[in-house]
């Protein structure tokens, strides 16, 4: 099976999102107010469990904000590092943007865009 030809920053965004999702899910799954409040007396047990649950909620919100900020940062880098080439639909060679013809097979991008030259099919 071939791996998709994604840019490195696409993989970085995907890995960042996966790691953050795992971190948030594990934070929610490991929240156990009853275990955290074992040492408290019966009167303070309910208060301790409420604060433990609130603490878990705050942690999840902070992680979600961190995820979003990191995603925006990586997305900005992804946008700034766009490739300056395009693939020729005939031969698959990389052609610099701005060139109107492929140097290998002489495919005319301008004619194809105007509809004069059909795309290979």
**Is residue 96 within 8 Å of 85, Cβ to Cβ?**
yes
pLDDT of residue 7: 82
Per-residue pLDDT of the chain (121 residues; tens, 9 = 90+): 555 678 889 999 999 999 999 999 998 888 877 777 777 666 677 788 888 888 889 999 999 999 999 999 999 999 998 878 888 888 888 888 778 888 888 888 777 777 765 555 4
- Predicted TM-score (pTM) of the model is 0.62
**Is residue 106 within 8 Å of 94, Cβ to Cβ?**
no
């Amino acid at each position: 099976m071939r791996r998709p030809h994604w840019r490195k920053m696409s993989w970085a965004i995907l890995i960042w999102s996966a790691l953050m999702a795992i971190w948030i899910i594990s934070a929610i799954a490991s929240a156990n107010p009853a275990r955290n409040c074992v040492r408290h007396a019966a009167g303070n047990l309910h208060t301790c469990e409420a604060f433990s649950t609130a603490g878990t909620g705050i942690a999840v919100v902070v992680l979600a904000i961190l995820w979003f900020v990191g995603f925006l940062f990586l997305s900005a880098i992804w946008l700034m590092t766009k490739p300056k080439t395009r693939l020729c639909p005939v031969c698959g060679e990389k052609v610099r943007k701005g060139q109107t013809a492929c140097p290998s097979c002489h495919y005319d991008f301008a004619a194809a865009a105007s509809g004069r030259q059909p795309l290979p099919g």
